[in-house]
Amino acid sequence: MIRFAWLQFRMQAAVAAGALAIVAVVLALTGPNLVHLYDTTVASCAVHHDCPTATTDFTDTDGPLQVFLDFLLLTVPLLIGMFWGAPLISREFETGTFRLAWTQGVTRTRWLAVKLGLGAVASAAIAGLLSLMVSWWSSQLDYVSANPFDSLRFGIRDVVPIGYAAFAFALGLSAGLLFRRMLPAMLVALVGFVAAREAVTAWVRPHLFTPLQQSLPITTATPVSIDQTSPGVIKAFENTRGISLPGAWVYSVQIVDQAGHTPTTSFLSGACHLGNYGPLNPRDCTARLAATFHQLVTYQPGGRYWPMQWYELAIFLSGSIVLAGFCFWWIRRPVI
C-alpha cells in the first residue's frame, strides 16, 4: 500500500521538494551576506554611535525577500490543507475511483492509514524544513527587529508551522471525506484552518502560562500621556517605550497606586493642566503622577518562548490526531 500511495503522491512530493530546493538555494546565497552585514554594522554600531541608523538599514536588507518568506510561511499550511488534504479523498469520490481503490486486496482502514500517514509526514516535513531554513536565515534580522512573541512572527518561525501544516492537512482530508466534494472541502480547509489558527493565537496562546507582573517606577524620561477620552473623563496612558524587559511579551502596562487604583479624573485635572494636545507641561505632570503611582507590567518572560512553541505545536498535533481519528471512524461507514 505504501508503494501505491507513493505512486500517486510522488508528483506532488516532487513539486513541493522542488519549490523547497529553490527557496533553499536563494537563502543559501543571500544568508551569508546578511550575517556579514550584521557583524560589520549592527554588532559594532555602539562604537560608532549610530545604532538606530545601522539597525534600520540592516532590517531593510532584502526587504522584498523577507516579505515573501513571511508570506510563504503563512500560506504553506493553507496550500497543504487545500491542495493536498482536501482533494485526497474527495477526488476519489468525485471520479468514482474509490470503487476501484477500496475493492483491491487492502482494507479501507489500511488505505487511509497509509495515505494519511504519508501526507501528514510530508506536510510536516515541508513546513518544518521551510521554517528551519527561514528561522536560520533571518535569525539576525529577527534578533534586531521583531519581538519573538509578535503574533505574526511566532507562527512562522521554529516548530509551530509543523503543527499548522499537519493540522491543515488533516482538516482538508476530513472535510473531503465528509463532503465528498473537492471545492467545499477546500473551502473548509481554508476557513477552518485560518479560524483555528486565529482562535489559538488570540485566546489560547496568551493563557498557556500565567503571566508575570512587575512594578516599574514612572520616570520623567518617558512622559506619560494624559488625555480627555470623553467629556469630563481624563485618563493617563502608559508609555511602553520606557519598559525594558528584553524578549518579553508585554500584555499590558497599567498606571496604578499602591492600592491598585488608577488615577482619577479629579486627581489628573489637579496635577496636570490640560491643553488641547495633552498636558501643557508633561514633565511636571509626570513627576506629580510618579509620586503616587507606578507602572504595573503584565508579561511573559522571554524564556517562555520555546515552551510556548512546543505547547502550540502539541495543540495542533493533538487537533490533527483528533481529526485523523474522526476519519478512521467515518471511513468505515457505508459509502454511497
Partner 1 sequence: MTVVIQTNGLGKRYGRQWALRDCTLGIPEGKVVGLVGPNGAGKTTLLNLAVGLLAPTCGAITVLGGPPSDGPAQLEKVGFVAQDTPAYAGLSVGKHLLMGSYLNANWNQELAKDRIDQLGLDPRQKAGSLSGGQRAQLALTMAIAKQPALLLLDEPVASLDPLARREFLQGLMEIVAEHAVSVVLSSHLIADLERVCDYLVLLVASHVQLAGEVTALLATHQRLSGPRRDPRSLPSSHEIIEESHTGKQSTFLVRTDQPILDPAWTVKPVTLDELVLAYMGRARNPSPGRRSGLGVAP
Positions touching partner 1 (CB under 8 A) are: 1, 3-4, 7-8, 11, 95-100, 102-108, 110, 333-336
For partner 1, the closer CB: 13 or 74: 13
CA–CA gap between residue 113 and residue 107 (Å, rounded): 10
* Smallest distance from partner 1 to CB 316, Å: 31
User: Taking the CB of residue 100, how many other CB atoms lie within 10 A of it?
Assistant: 10
* Smallest distance from partner 1 to CB 94, Å: 10
CA–CA gap between residue 154 and residue 270 (Å, rounded): 44
For partner 1, the closer CB: 7 or 47: 7
CA-wise closest residue to 311 among 181, 179, 173, 149: 149
The residues, any chain, with a CB within 8 Å of residue 215's CB and separated by 6 or more, are 294, 295, 296, 297
For partner 1, the closer CB: 177 or 190: 177
CA–CA gap between residue 103 and residue 106 (Å, rounded): 8
For partner 1, the closer CB: 2 or 46: 2
* Smallest distance from partner 1 to CB 5, Å: 9
For partner 1, the closer CB: 99 or 273: 99
* Smallest distance from partner 1 to CB 74, Å: 30
Backbone angles phi, psi at 204, to 5 degrees: -105, -50
Classify 96 in phi/psi space as left (phi over 0), alpha (psi -120 to 50) or beta.
left
Whether 185 and 264 have beta carbons less than 8 Å apart is answered as no
Residue pointed to by grid coordinates 494636545: 277
* Smallest distance from partner 1 to CB 168, Å: 23
* Smallest distance from partner 1 to CB 104, Å: 4
For partner 1, the closer CB: 107 or 240: 107
